[in-house]
Amino acid sequence: MFSSVAWAADAPSQPGFMDTLPMLAVVFFIFYFLVIRPQGKKIKTHNDFLSKMKRGDKVLTSGGILGTVEGLTDKFVTLEISDDVKVRILRAQISGSAENATEEKK
């Protein structure tokens, strides 16, 4: 009974906050360079694509519909998905260029 108390008295104390701060900083920088920075670059290129989109571009929606841009407003894009079949979708739902999507699948 008394021996367990004696062992507990010799146990080292837990590290303080200043001891764990360098390791926490290393984990943050690894997380930043592997997750946050690439995602930010992807968002920036997608927003650039959406701002430079023009009539006649072939695009792919997030739902998987391929179409040609027929009209643009600030929020909406009108796509022609077949002869005389036009749909109006949110600009944010355009996932990318149709040429890039078909090249990746080859």
Average pLDDT per consecutive 10 residues, the chain (106 residues; last block may be shorter): 55 77 93 94 94 94 94 95 95 89 62
Distance CA 27, CA 19 (A): 14
pLDDT at 15: 77
pLDDT at 9: 56
Instruction: Tell me how many domains the chain contains.
Output: 2
pLDDT at 17: 79
Indicate whether 43 and 64 sit together in one domain. Answer: no
Indicate whether 65 and 81 sit together in one domain. Answer: yes
Distance CA 8, CA 14 (A): 13
Token pair in block for residue 46: 């997608």
Q: Is residue 4 part of a domain?
A: no
Record the pTM: 0.69
Helix (H, G, I), strand (E, B) or coil at 106: coil
Indicate whether 73 and 41 sit together in one domain. Answer: no
Neighbouring residues of 72: CB distance < 8 A, sequence distance ≥ 6? 53, 54, 55, 78, 91
CATH of the domain at 97: 2.30.30
Residue range of the domain that includes 78: 54-106
